[in-house]
Chain A
Amino acid sequence: MDPRCGFVVDLKDLKEVLNREVLDALDHRFLNKEVPEFFHAIPTTENLAIAIWNRLQSKLKAAELHRVRVYETTDLFVDFYGEE
């Protein structure tokens, strides 16, 4: 945590990376045909969580990525923590 501002990460920075790397690439897309990760892998929510982790992990500099959680429905979600 940065003691001067009291933040773990400036949410503006996180939002910028998230929008650019994840939402712009995935939102309103047909995952199978428009997202390279799923040209060969099946776009299950498990694989989607891993793909989002990989997209963020390499680009998120401001803080350490802890977890990606993807909700498929309100009653079903997948968590991915990277290599365990």
Chain B
Amino acid sequence: MKAHLTKRYWFSASHRLHSDAMSESENQRTYGKCNNPYGHGHNYALEVTVGGPVDQATGMICNLSELDRFVEQNVLASFDHENLNVLPRFREVVPTTENLCMEIYDILKNGFAAAEVEKVRLQETTQNSFEYAGGAEIMR
């Protein structure tokens, strides 16, 4: 009996969308006000979906406190109240929410072993969100 559990976490971070591969005018044309020099912030809602058989003994897919601990130590501790642009991961990768979503998926997929990480959904505002469930190469 496979089931899917989704837990939502919250963190706040700032970013500036700017690519060194593009000229100033091209950056402004591409990113608009998101290219403003000093960046801007978001209260991100992160939804992590894990799946697997429901353990007969515990009635659970995995121990939720293990998932909470992993996300807190490996995701929230890295990104909450940070300027994404100065983090090593985003020195050469534009910290769009697409790239952040894939990065978080990668961290969870490679590090969390108690259940299968199926999907990450990252909501940037109430009007937009991004989902990643693997299946494509993440640019390094």
A residues whose Cβ falls under 8 Å from a Cβ of B: 41-47, 49-50, 74-81, 83-84
Stretch binding the partner chain, chosen from B1-9, B75-83, B103-111, B128-136: B1-9
Residues 41-52 of chain B: 1 if any A CB is under 8 Å from the residue's CB, otherwise 0?
Answer: 000000001000
**Chain A residues with CB below 8 A from B49, complex form:** 79
**Interface size class of chain B, counting residues whose CB lies under 8 Å from the partner chain:** 10 to 19
Which residue from chain B places its CB closest to the CB of A48 in the assembled complex? B59
Write the nearest CB–CB distance from B104 to chain A, whole angstroms: 16
CA distance A56 to B7 in the complex (A): 25
Q: By the criterion CB–CB under 8 Å, are B6 and A50 in contact?
A: no
Q: A41-B59, A84-B2 are in contact. Are A46 and B7 (CB under 8 A)?
A: no
Whether a CB of chain A sits under 8 angstroms from the CB of B117 is: no
Contacts A75-B8, A79-B5, A81-B4 given; 9 further ones with Cβ under 8 A?
A41-B59, A44-B59, A46-B5, A47-B54, A50-B3, A78-B61, A79-B3, A79-B6, A83-B1
A83 neighbours in B (Cβ, 8 Å)? 1
Question: A84 contacts which chain B residues (CB < 8 A)?
Answer: 2
B positions within 8 Å CB-CB of A: 1-9, 49, 54, 58-61, 64
When distances are taken between beta carbons in the complex, the residues of chain B under 8 Å from A74 are 8
Determine if A78 and B59 form an interchain contact, defined as CB atoms under 8 angstroms apart.
Answer: no
Taking the closest CB of chain A, its distance from the CB of B61, in whole angstroms, is: 6
- Contacts A50-B1, A84-B2 given; does A42 touch B7 at CB 8 Å: no
Is there an interface contact between B3 and A49, defined as CB atoms closer than 8 Å?
Answer: yes
Write the chain A residue with the least CB distance to B49. Answer: A79
